[in-house]
Amino acid sequence: MSRHSSGKKEIKKTKKFSSGARTPKPTVFILGFLLIVVGIFGVLYNPANSIGNSSNPIEKTLPWKLSEAGILSFSPREEPVFAAQEIEDPYSPEDPDILKLISFESGDQNVQALLRIPANVPSVPGIVLLPGAGVSKEGEQGLAVELSKMGYATLTLDQRNKGAINVDRDLELFRAGLEPVEYLMVYDALKATDVLSAQSEIDHERLAILGESNGGRFAIIACALEPSLKGVIGISTSGYSTEETDPASVADSEAYRFYLSIDPDTYLSALPPSRLVMMHSFNDTVISHELALKTFALAEEPKAMYNATEETHGYTASMRPYLEKELAQILS
């Protein structure tokens, strides 16, 4: 039977009930119950709430919002859901660290991470560690081991696309009312903070976030959005200087608003009282030192910047004293 003929049959039943004939009480009860169910169904599945019919589909249907100034925000997060399994440590087998493989729910997928905890350190401070583009959680264990020797636990993520971004594709998703991957990457960092805080070995009142390169960009945004983070350290990173563009000269205002939303420079004013620390080489081979200086100049106190001289991109051994000094101040 087609849906059309079924609808006609339903109309005939309605006419029967409106004819004035006396209806048995059980039938009245059943009819009333069905009307309630239909009413609830109509509220839940009202087409006016769908993406295609909403006057502002992005903000009504997704777990994030974007202000007119391009500031991203998320709905309140639920309690973290994760699984943890202790594994052997092939990255630093001579150290007594505890290493766990963590899988936690974030948005539309499970994120894999490595939790490294210094042995015999009760209630240890924790750091969410975001690698640079193309670097896995395993590839970031060198820095994680360094941080463990300083007395800090780390939760190192496998970022989506291994930290690589496609701004044009994300803009297409944004225009379509879908969630840009970069928004998901920020949300992953926020959920990682929840997961790290939930570990029994971690002092949840002493948390920070650290990122290298692209990871540093997401770390700055996440720190601005999460007040439990005491500070953010960005190594070999910078903003995009989107604010230097005159909004009056922009033909596509929505694209401009999206670009603002993924630029860490947009969030710098929201960082305090969390501390911003930047470390950058004068001879960085990927992100210029000049760009890093622009971001640092835009930031408000408390902040600090340290410079290295190596011709490289990312963490270097010469940064270790600065890193140890700043973490002690942030997580004291």
The domain segmentation of the chain, as residue ranges, is: 3-45, 63-330
Q: Report the pLDDT averaged over residues 176-204.
A: 96
Residue 9 has pLDDT above 60, yes or no: no
Q: Are 186 and 207 in contact (CB under 8 A)?
A: no
At 311, list the tokens: 């011709």
In the block, residue with structure tokens 């005491």: 230
Q: State the pLDDT at residue 16.
A: 32
pLDDT: is 4 or 88 the higher one?
A: 88
Q: State the pLDDT at residue 163.
A: 87
Helices (H), the chain: 3-17, 25-44, 57-61, 141-149, 167-175, 181-197, 214-225, 253-261, 289-298, 320-330
Q: Report the pLDDT averaged over residues 159-181.
A: 94
Q: State the pLDDT at residue 61.
A: 53
Q: What are the beta bridge partners of residue 116?
A: 99, 154
pLDDT band at 117 (very low <50, low <70, confident <90, very high): very high
Q: State the pLDDT at residue 4.
A: 33
Residue 42 has pLDDT above 80, yes or no: no
| CA nearest to 198, candidates 328, 84, 73, 111 | 84
Q: Report the pLDDT averaged over residues 95-124.
A: 95
Domain 63-330, CATH: 3.40.50.1820
The string of DSSP letters for 279-314 reads: EEETT-SSS-HHHHHHHHHHPPSSEEEEEE-SSSSS
Residue 3 has pLDDT above 90, yes or no: no
Q: What is the pLDDT of residues 46-67, one digit of tens each?
A: 333 333 333 344 444 568 999 9
Its pTM surpasses 0.85: no
Q: What is the pLDDT of residues 212-237, one digit of tens each?
A: 999 999 999 999 999 999 999 999 99
How many residues does the structure list for the chain?
332
pLDDT band at 20 (very low <50, low <70, confident <90, very high): very low
Q: Report the pLDDT averaged over residues 5-32.
A: 35
Distance in angstroms (rounded) separating the CA atoms of residues 115 and 80: 15
* 59: number of Cβ within 10 Å: 13
Residue 259 has pLDDT above 50, yes or no: yes
Q: Is 254 helix (H, G, I), strand (E, B) or coil?
A: helix
